[in-house]
Amino acid sequence: MYRIAPSILSANFAKLGEEITQVIASGADWIHFDVMDNHYVPNLTIGPLVCEAIRPVTQATIDVHLMVKPVDRIIPDFAKAGANVITFHPEGSEHIDRSLGLIRDSGCQAGLVFNPATPLHYMDHVMDKLDVVLLMSVNPGFGGQKFIPETLNKLRAAREKIDAYEAKTGRRILLEIDGGVKVDNIAEIARAGADTFVAGSAVFGAGKDSDSNRYDSVIRALRAELATVGA
Ligand code: DX5
Ligand code: ZN
């Protein structure tokens, strides 16, 4: 019922394949893949080549978070590289409905990402094309930032919209949270309505380099917190 999606932004890039294998073996569900372009956000990360390289390493869902502008040109490349979920920021697209359609036509699940100050109404008229709604609980661009508490109110508002849509259509849209998720706040975030949790520094910062199962205890701790929440 809950998904944990470690962000490889905080992984050791010199051993990316191993990091992914370990974190999935430790019980993580998705691999969150942060794409930054030094234009839409002030940082530069990884693209379709890296997605293609890690695809054979894992069966897990690869959740591509596009922090790029424009988005349309690069969407088919990520689909071909093996992405399962592709999300983008409404500010990164001139035609949001078209970009969502492009993702789905490429065979992937589609999602919109909301920055802390971006209003939720961008989702209202495209619900039928959404598989995921992702709320940023930090400003995008860097790992290791602090969770912005106002996001809890925004989560509750997004939860209401998504539940109303599900009651009407029977179709489920996931509600994902990204930024500053830790063992000590994940339960509160789940209670506010999130069902899918990106965690970068909290996961990849855990354990010792030499431990063969270095991510077991942090994933177990995140799950134990989630287990206190109930349905
Ligand atoms: C930020 C990225 C996040 C980031 C999260 O722009 O979208 O996915 O890696 O890192 P933590 O969990 O360290 O806040
Ligand atoms: Zn992200």
Gap between the Cα atoms of 93 and 70, Å rounded:
6
Gap between the Cα atoms of 65 and 40, Å rounded:
13
Gap between the Cα atoms of 174 and 182, Å rounded:
20
Where helices occur in the chain by DSSP H, the ranges are 16-25, 48-54, 75-80, 96-105, 151-169, 186-191, 201-204, 216-227
Residue 153 token pair: 């109110």
Phi, psi of 65, deg, nearest 5: -105, 105
pLDDT of residue 72: 98
Gap between the Cα atoms of 190 and 222, Å rounded:
11
211 part of the active site? no
Residue 226 token pair: 């989630």
- Which residues form the domain of 72? 3-227
Residues 6+ apart with CB under 8 A from 110: 85, 86, 87, 100, 103, 104, 129, 130, 131, 132
pLDDT of residue 207: 81
Gap between the Cα atoms of 159 and 163, Å rounded:
6
Q: Tell whether ligand 1 has an atom less than 6 A from the beta carbon of residue 63.
A: no
* Distance (Å) of CA 101 to CA 6, 78, 87, 138: 27, 15, 12, 27
- What angle is formed at CA 82 by the lines to CA 78 and CA 84, rounded to 5 degrees? 85
Q: Tell whether ligand 1 has an atom less than 6 A from the beta carbon of residue 58.
A: no
Number of domains in the chain: 1
Gap between the Cα atoms of 64 and 210, Å rounded:
29
Q: Which atom of ligand 1 is nearest to the CA of 144?
A: 13
| Ordered per-residue pLDDT tens for the chain, 231 residues | 999 999 999 999 999 999 999 999 999 999 999 999 999 999 999 999 999 999 999 999 999 999 999 999 999 999 999 999 999 999 999 999 999 999 999 999 999 999 999 999 999 999 999 999 999 999 999 999 999 999 999 999 999 999 999 999 999 999 999 999 999 999 999 999 999 999 999 999 998 888 878 999 999 999 999 999 976
Q: Tell whether ligand 1 has an atom less than 6 A from the beta carbon of residue 178.
A: yes
pLDDT of residue 39: 98
Residue from 178, 196, 201, 219 whose mutation best tests the ligand 1 pocket (most atoms within 8 A of CB): 178
Gap between the Cα atoms of 5 and 170, Å rounded:
25
Evaluate whether 209 touches 190 at the Cβ level (below 8 Å). Answer: no
Burial 168-181 (b: 16+ CB within 10 A, else e): eeeeebbbbbbbbb
Gap between the Cα atoms of 91 and 113, Å rounded:
9
pTM of the predicted model, to two decimals? 0.98
Q: List the CATH number of the domain containing 189.
A: 3.20.20.70
Q: Tell whether ligand 1 has an atom less than 6 A from the beta carbon of residue 199.
A: yes
